[in-house]
């Protein structure tokens, strides 16, 4: 008796399907996810950082985080593209803060300025700066 083998080639997987498969620790699905989204993530990170070397490192960290957090993302049924681009945005912003240092505090200047204006407007004593 002759047996014929049939191979089924899967149709295009959605990014969300790939996240579910990555959550099950499917290395091949992770490879497809990476190949599909690395250009998007690298461009997004590069736009924030403006330099190649930090962008490569941050992009790599994004995909490590994807692998690590895929079970949680799959259980919450998040949109895969939105999820990975949010990770990329956060990681790029964190790296930019590391490069540039913390932003200057505007709260004291803002409060002090408007506090003095309010005091002058009310005709009361001007608070100490």
Evaluate whether residue 117 is within a structural domain.
no
State pTM to two decimals.
Answer: 0.71
Q: What is the CATH number of the domain that holds 39?
A: 1.10.1740.10
Domain count, the chain: 1
Evaluate whether residue 80 is within a structural domain.
yes
Evaluate whether residue 127 is within a structural domain.
no
Evaluate whether residue 29 is within a structural domain.
yes
Q: Which SS3 state, helix, strand or coil, does residue 8 take?
A: coil
Evaluate whether residue 126 is within a structural domain.
no
- pLDDT-derived band at 12, boundaries 50, 70, 90: confident
* Structure token digits, residue 98: 């590391």
DSSP assignment, residue 90? H
Residues whose CB is less than 8 angstroms from the CB of residue 38 and which lie 6 or more positions away in sequence, other chains included: 59, 63
Evaluate whether residue 98 is within a structural domain.
yes
pLDDT of residue 8: 47
Whole domain around residue 75: which residue ranges? 15-103
């Amino acid at each position: 008796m002759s047996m014929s083998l049939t191979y089924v080639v899967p149709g295009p997987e959605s990014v969300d399907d790939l996240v579910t498969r990555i959550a099950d620790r499917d290395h091949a699905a992770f490879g497809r996810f990476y190949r599909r989204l690395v250009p998007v993530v690298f461009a997004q990170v590069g736009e924030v950082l403006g330099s190649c070397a930090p962008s490569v490192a941050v992009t790599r960290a994004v995909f490590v985080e994807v692998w690590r957090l895929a079970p949680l993302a799959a259980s919450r049924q998040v949109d895969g593209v939105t999820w990975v681009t949010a990770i990329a945005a956060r990681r790029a912003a964190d790296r930019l803060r590391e490069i540039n240092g913390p932003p200057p505090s505007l709260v004291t200047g803002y409060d002090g300025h408007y506090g003095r204006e309010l005091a002058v407007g009310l005709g009361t004593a001007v608070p100490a700066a």
